[in-house]
Homo-oligomer: A and B are copies of this chain.
Amino acid sequence: MQGSFKHSVRRPLQPVARGLRALRVRPNHVTLAGLVASLLAGYFLARGHLSIALIWLLVSLLCDMLDGDLARLDARRTGPLGAFFDSCADRISEAWVLGGLLIGQAYHGPGLNWVWLTVWVLALSGSFMVSYARARAEGLGIGCTVGFAERPERMIVLLALLIAGWRASIWFLAALAFMSWLTVGQRVAHVARATRSGSDATCRERAAG
């Protein structure tokens, strides 16, 4: 996301983050609240209630921004565990919301066909791969924040999908799949460049996953 846009979205949240800190709320609590909100969003999507799902998804995004702000305010009280928990919660919440969309489309939307299912699988796996590629690269000691389809951008597409409704869902899923897989390509190319130019050419055990 563009730095200036991110900044303008986040500025009004600063007093909220300070208030939460004064109330001794910890970043992990906010992360957990965001996860619960996204599970509710997925549940209401599966039941076909797009507008209620939209509200819960917005609550979840708010929590997702707040936990980061809160963590930055109080660096002493957060550590790698907070970052780990936050990342895992983000992935679970994306899978759950997209899963709710799948069931909602089957029962309350125009139904499923193989084109929709293929695009949906590409959107879900692409979203996951964007984050996986970064985490795996960082595990190998290579910074990997390139690419434009990070979580905030993907969430904006999902919000737009919920506003547009079931009949248009395939176009938003196709956009999500396209931008995610493009970002995966960018990250793979980045890692290839970094390992070829860098001196860090140690051999690592290939992962069993």
Q: Which residues in A have some Cβ–Cβ distance to B below 8 Å?
A: 1, 27, 46, 67-68, 71, 75-76, 78-88, 90-92, 95-96, 98-99, 102-103, 106-107, 112, 114, 117-118, 121, 124-125, 128-142, 150-152, 154, 184, 188, 191-192, 195-196, 200-209
Contacts and interface: CB of A to CB of B under 8 A. Distances in A.
20 contacts: A27-B206, A46-B114, A79-B202, A80-B201, A81-B196, A84-B133, A84-B195, A88-B129, A88-B184, A90-B207, A91-B129, A91-B209, A99-B117, A99-B121, A106-B117, A124-B124, A128-B128, A131-B207, A134-B209, A152-B208
B124 A208 contact: no
Given A112-B106, A121-B102, A208-B152, A191 B135 contact: no
Copies, count: 2
Taking chain A's interface residues, is the majority helix, strand, or loop, or is none over half, making it mixed? helix
A70 to B, nearest CB: 10
> In this complex, which of A75, A84, A130, A196 has the most chain B Cβ atoms within 10 angstroms of its Cβ?
A84
Contact of A125 (B75, B80, B95): B95
Nearest to A80: B140
